[in-house]
Amino acid sequence: MAMLDKPINELNLVPFVSVDDMMKIILEIGVENVLVGLCEYLEEDFRRWDLFDKTPRIASHSNEGVIELMPTSDGHDYGFKYVNGHPKNTKDGLQTVTAFGVLADVDTGYPVMLTEMTILTALRTAATSAMAAKYLMPKGSKTMAMIGNGAQSEFQALAFKAICGITDLRLYDIDSSATDRCIKNLSNSGLKMVKCDSEQSAVEGAEIITTVTADKQYATILTDNMVGAGVHINAIGGDCPGKTELHKDILLRSDIFVEYTPQTRIEGEIQQLDDDYPVKELWQVMTGEVEGRTNDKQITLFDSVGFAIEDFSALRYIRDQLQKTGHFTNLDMLADPDDPRDLYGMILRAEKNLS
């Protein structure tokens, strides 16, 4: 555990949050408390959306997956995330998604934190889903169906419990062992869980439907006949070109909300629709610029692909926990010559010290 006598950004060392550190931070604060805290930071940043640099993520696609960079800045801080998505990895005992991120000071360009973001991305994705549902789900929703019970499922369940008040969970995965694992992991959560034998049975009686599958392909996880009036759909599995989960007819019956339209048109469910098909951005709902849910019969759809501002919010949140928890390691990442113009002199001095 590292402790600081002065603020992190006044040091020449860069705090590094390892996987072990991240788990210690989460356990010290509590998973649900972290999710609530992330939601607060996300709401703050979504409400000041206009301040941010916004660009679709920079993606390098292959037959097996994608590697992406996700940058943004609010003019004070700069953040980026490196992340991959390789669905085949699970067959080899590897994570589908891995990530790390950097937060930097805009005035100096110096990094102020380097952190793992594999676990943090799962947390921020779940917090973003629940934040959107706060504004879009039917009032008083208590039951959520979750189709796809992989690595994201427990985080989604706990976020909807902590932020939206969900009490009942209906679970389905084509791999029944994934559902069993999810139920076991959430056995002390207080959620009432039902293992279902099909997508159709999972959505019965659910006010919220979450789809979170991993295969990189056009798929139809939900068909039009499965979706009744008045539900909220949290579609988070379709997140790259050529990968979807919902039948097109569901989209045509829904009011669609997205993070950043130019990116979602490339990667989200709406890649199935014409480029001028009308959608609303979530920040507009949160600031009152547009309406979210307007009636009991309306189908709302959060077509989420993940956006850099969400990672920025997560980076800010973790940075603000470092002084409180001390779970990080200082890295000697920044060259600090006696004379800023004499970088080579550092090498000469190091040579003398070694001789």
The CATH number of whichever domain residue 321 belongs to comes to 3.30.1780.10
Q: Within this chain, do residues 188 and 326 fall inside the same structural domain, yes or no?
A: no
What average pLDDT does the chain have? Answer: 93
Mean pLDDT of the region 76-98: 92
- Specify if 110 maps to a domain: yes
Q: Within this chain, do residues 266 and 196 fall inside the same structural domain, yes or no?
A: yes
User: How many domains does the chain divide into?
Assistant: 2
| Euclidean distance between CA atoms 189 and 335, whole angstroms | 47
- Specify if 347 maps to a domain: no
Which band of pLDDT confidence, cut at 50, 70 and 90, is reported for residue 243? confident
How many separate helices (H) and strands (E) can be counted in the chain? Answer: 11, 17
Kindly tell me if the per-residue pLDDT of 81 is higher than 70. yes
In single-letter form, the type of residue at position 324 comes to K
Q: Within this chain, do residues 142 and 248 fall inside the same structural domain, yes or no?
A: yes
Which band of pLDDT confidence, cut at 50, 70 and 90, is reported for residue 6? very low
Q: Give the pLDDT score at 217.
A: 62
Q: Rounded to the nearest 5°, which phi and psi values hold at 106?
A: -65, -35
Instruction: Yes or no: say if 170 and 233 are a contact pair by the CB < 8 Å rule.
Output: no
Mean pLDDT of the region 79-87: 93
Cα→Cα distances 324→3, 12, 28, 185, Å:
9, 20, 10, 28
In single-letter form, the type of residue at position 142 comes to K
Catalytic member of 21, 239, 303, 311: 239
Q: Domain containing 248: what range? A: 137-306
258-263 contacts at long range (C-beta below 8 A, 24 or more positions apart): 258/282, 258/302, 258/303, 258/304, 258/305, 259/128, 259/304, 259/305, 259/306, 259/307, 259/309, 259/310, 260/54, 260/56, 260/307, 260/309, 262/56, 263/56, 263/57, 263/305, 263/307
Mean pLDDT of the region 265-272: 92
Kindly tell me if the per-residue pLDDT of 125 is higher than 60. yes
Q: Give the pLDDT score at 11.
A: 56
Q: Give the pLDDT score at 215.
A: 62
Q: Lowest mean pLDDT of 35-49, 240-254, 297-311, name the range.
A: 240-254
Q: Within this chain, do residues 300 and 177 fall inside the same structural domain, yes or no?
A: yes
| Euclidean distance between CA atoms 57 and 301, whole angstroms | 22
| Euclidean distance between CA atoms 120 and 152, whole angstroms | 11
Mean pLDDT of the region 64-88: 94
Kindly tell me if the per-residue pLDDT of 355 is higher than 80. no
Which band of pLDDT confidence, cut at 50, 70 and 90, is reported for residue 214? low
Which band of pLDDT confidence, cut at 50, 70 and 90, is reported for residue 8? very low
pTM: 0.92
| Euclidean distance between CA atoms 200 and 143, whole angstroms | 15
* Residues 236, 270, 78: CA angle, nearest 5 degrees: 60
Q: Within this chain, do residues 206 and 301 fall inside the same structural domain, yes or no?
A: yes
- Specify if 44 maps to a domain: yes
Q: Within this chain, do residues 99 and 196 fall inside the same structural domain, yes or no?
A: no
Q: Rounded to the nearest 5°, which phi and psi values hold at 236?
A: -120, 0
Which band of pLDDT confidence, cut at 50, 70 and 90, is reported for residue 63? confident
CB atoms within 10 A of CB 40: 14
Kindly tell me if the per-residue pLDDT of 346 is higher than 80. yes
- Specify if 341 maps to a domain: no
Instruction: For the chain, give the longest Cα–Cα distance.
Output: 78
290-297 contacts at long range (C-beta below 8 A, 24 or more positions apart): 292/135, 292/136, 292/257, 293/135, 293/136, 293/137, 293/138, 293/139, 293/232, 296/138, 296/229, 296/230, 297/229, 297/230
Which band of pLDDT confidence, cut at 50, 70 and 90, is reported for residue 88? confident
Pairing of strands 143-147, 111-116: unpaired
The percentage of residues in the chain with a pLDDT greater than 90, rounded to a whole number, is 82
Pairing of strands 329-331, 77-85: unpaired
Mean pLDDT of the region 89-109: 93
> Is 50 known to be catalytic?
no
